[in-house]
Amino acid sequence: MRQNLKKMALLGLGTIGGTGANFFIQVYLAKVLTVVNFGIYTSIINLINLVTPIIAFGVTSFMLKVYSEEFEDARLWFKSIIKFLFLSSLVVLFFLQIWAYMSFREVYWVFIVILFFFHALSLSLNSFTILKLQLENNFYLLSIWQFLPNILRLVLLLGIIFVYNKDFHFIGLAYFLTSLVVLSFSIKSIINLKKGDIELYQSANTNTNTNTNTNTRGFFELVKLSFPFGMAGIFYLIYYQIDIFLIALFLDYEKVAIYGVGLIFLTSSLLLPNLYYQKICMPKLHYWNANNRKLLLIFCNKNIYLNFIIGVSLVLMVGGGLGFILKYIFNSKYDSSIYLYYLMISVIPIRLMAMHFGSIMSTGGLVGDKMRIMGWAAVFNIAFNLMLIPLIGIFGAAISTILTEVFLLVLFQKKVKEFLRG
């Protein structure tokens, strides 16, 4: 327990630094850009967030599971992984160029979106640096790496805008330059993982498999086995980000900006809990699923009520500070939307509990079930958005999100309880 608290404190400090920098970027751009231009920026960033998982497509989540089972032999997957990353990057780049031209009909915006493509590429490949640090249990470096890219992006953004101006190509340039730095570290991490140049925290002595396999794992085998992890991530982003695109379709970029500010509050509130499950718990959950199912059951029963209490506390804290933040940080530009933001943050307790069961469903044979449930959640969310946004505007998007989270929580809990009882 003390070790977990220490790790959480380290990662928390890193995340707070990184989140603070990212939050400042969003707030600064919301202040200096017109509402319409901030809406365009929000649309581009949300599209980038949506396509980013397509590049790695669940490979790092799959490899976290592989390392808990194959240990050093996991390096044999990386020849196929590199081939996969190259092909998927080309597909994403082509899609973004088509989207930019179809949306804006100007070559200028195609150029802007290409700059942001490198941001997507760096976010995706950065997951391999995080994977390496997780496997080595190196939470000191991981905590530093949690905030460095965002701090660098903030410094470049402020510097470029101060020296030049706040045109979109200068904003894109700041994202592009930061991406080059992140990519250099990410590529080095992939090379080290491929060579097996990594000190696994779970020692080789834990590995009961004494056969050394030197056969490279196949490309199509990689695609097949990582597919559930990748689709689960895609479905999550669809029901989490699709609101922005449907608001832009049915309403306008001003409403996109208003909803985007609400998403800043929501995502900032959930960063530390998400960090706890993704960075600290997942390696253990994969290991427990493969080697000690009893510990998995204890983890499931122990944390669920605590998550609800933490979620309610977060709603009260964030809700209590909303008026102050909107007035003094956003210059009262979004004051009229405060009731929308109250509604949006009310989903936090539900999402925390769904996150708890969802992390367990990322292990073992539950991944396929998780993919199917999240696929239905994405369909469910899109259907409700299509019905509610034309009727009640951006409040419809917030209500659709809450209903989707309840749907996920009920089905995740049911599946996990069945799995652990069996």
What's the gap between Cα 286 and its chain centre?
Answer: 19
Backbone angles phi, psi at 2, to 5 degrees: -65, -40
pLDDT at 210: 43
pLDDT band at 151 (very low <50, low <70, confident <90, very high): confident
DSSP 12-50: HHHHHHHHHHHHHHHHHHHHHS-HHHHHHHHHHHHHHHH
Structural domain count of the chain: 1
What is the C-alpha to C-alpha distance for residues 8 and 40, in angstroms, rounded to an integer? 35
**Mean pLDDT lowest for which of 144-148, 178-182, 327-331?**
327-331
Per-residue pLDDT, averaged over 381-385, amounts to: 92
Question: What band does 211 get if pLDDT is binned at 50, 70 and 90?
Answer: very low
The per-residue pLDDT for range 254-310, each reduced to its tens digit, is 888 888 888 888 887 887 788 778 777 777 787 787 777 788 888 888 778 888 899
The structure's pTM equals 0.69
The CA-based angle 104-108-114, given to 5 degrees, is 95
Q: Is the pLDDT of residue 208 over 70?
A: no
Q: How much is the pLDDT for 13? A: 64
Residue the block writes with tokens 């989140």 = 19
Range of the domain at 346: 2-421
Which has the higher per-residue pLDDT, 226 or 12?
Answer: 226
Q: What is the rounded CA–CA span in Å between residue 338 and residue 323?
A: 7
Higher pLDDT, 358 or 205: 358
- pLDDT band of residue 203 (cuts 50, 70, 90) is very low
Residue among 228, 227, 238 nearest 361 (CA): 228
DSSP state at residue 364? G
Of residues 269, 186, 296, 272, the one with CA closest to residue 7: 272
